[in-house]
Amino acid sequence: MVIAPYRTDMSETAVDKIFRALMERIVTGDLPAGEKLRQDHIARDYEVSHVPVREAFLRLEAKGLAKSVPHKGMRVTELEPTEIREVIEMRVALEVLALTHALPRHDDQTLAEVDAARVACDAAHDMITWDRCNRRFHFALLVPCAMPRLLSSIEDLHITAARHLFAYWRDRWVSRPDSDHAALLEAVRAQDLTLACDILRRHLRRVS
């Protein structure tokens, strides 16, 4: 099962909670590259044993956000500036594929979810809120494709792309409506696959 970004509900486990919290701190740069993730401190902060903390660390490692370094413990991974081009092109390929399968499955309810995310994204007054809503928009747009492995890969790319944005664009971010999001939504509503895919490709490459 693919979990939508930032979903929290009553079924969320201690491992889920710790993983999500640490992931967001790494993505936003609150936990910088090279920072040691201290198991004792995290277990105490969340009032849990070391077991869920270790499991959360393993998830971070699987996402490429942390790495176990011999004799140094678990550390936040370094960012490689040159990888962003690869991430963008992978997002283009995979998100266009997902949109191709998702578009004919959209209905009034799913489109309402996309629109709510779009509105929240446009209304965001800080980059952390905007990033959360931006990822929610893209995920809501694609999730009707009902292809869990594809969506999981896309979610991983979203996380990596967001980390780069916070590292290199945070000082230049400004709040503004995203015309691409509005155009994408209208193309999906009109069931115009060619136009929707063209807008999505342009949108994803816009920051490159």
C-alpha to C-alpha distances, 17 to 13, 45, 46, 105, nearest whole angstrom = 6, 12, 9, 31
Contact (Cβ atoms closer than 8 angstroms) between residue 140 and residue 113? yes
Residue 10 has pLDDT above 80, yes or no: no
Token couple for 132: 């959360």
- What confidence tens digit (pLDDT) does each residue in 88-144 have? 999 999 999 999 999 999 999 999 999 999 999 999 999 999 999 999 999 999 999
- In the structure, what pLDDT confidence band is assigned to residue 4 with cuts at 50, 70 and 90? very low
Asked whether residue 169 carries a pLDDT value surpassing 90, the answer given is no
Taking the C-alpha atoms of residue 24 and residue 21, their distance in angstroms, rounded to an integer, is 5
- The residue among 76, 98, 116 that closes a domain is 76
CATH number at residue 19: 1.10.10.10
To the nearest 10°, the Cα dihedral for 52, 163, 144, 137?
120
90 and 146 in one domain? Answer: yes
Is position 5 within any domain? no
Q: Rounded to two decimals, what is the model's pTM?
A: 0.85
Domain of 177? 83-205
Q: Which of 76, 95, 112 is the last residue of a domain?
A: 76
Helical packing angle, 83-102 and 127-142, nearest 10°: 40
- Per the structure, how many domains does the chain have? 2
State which H helix or E strand residue 45 sits in.
Answer: helix 39-46
HSE-up (13 A, CA, CB side) for residue 98: 25
How far apart are alpha carbons 12 and 81 in whole angstroms? 33
Joined tokens for residue 54: 């270790």
Is residue 96 assigned to a domain? Answer: yes
**Domain-located, residue 8:** no
Task: Based on the fold, state whether residues 194 and 102 are members of the same structural domain.
Answer: yes
List the alpha helices (DSSP H) in 66-192: 83-102, 108-123, 127-142, 148-169, 179-189
SS (H, E, C) 115-141: HHHHHHHHHCCCHHHHHHHHHHHHHHH
Q: Is pLDDT at 59 greater than 60 in this prediction? A: yes
In a domain? residue 65 = yes
- Tell the residue number behind the tokens 């011999």, with chain if given: 70
Report if residue 186 sits inside a domain. yes
Residue 200 sits in a domain of what CATH number?
Answer: 1.20.120.530
Of 30, 23, 66, residue with least CA distance to 167? 30
Q: What angle do CA 201, 202, 207 make, to 5 degrees?
A: 110
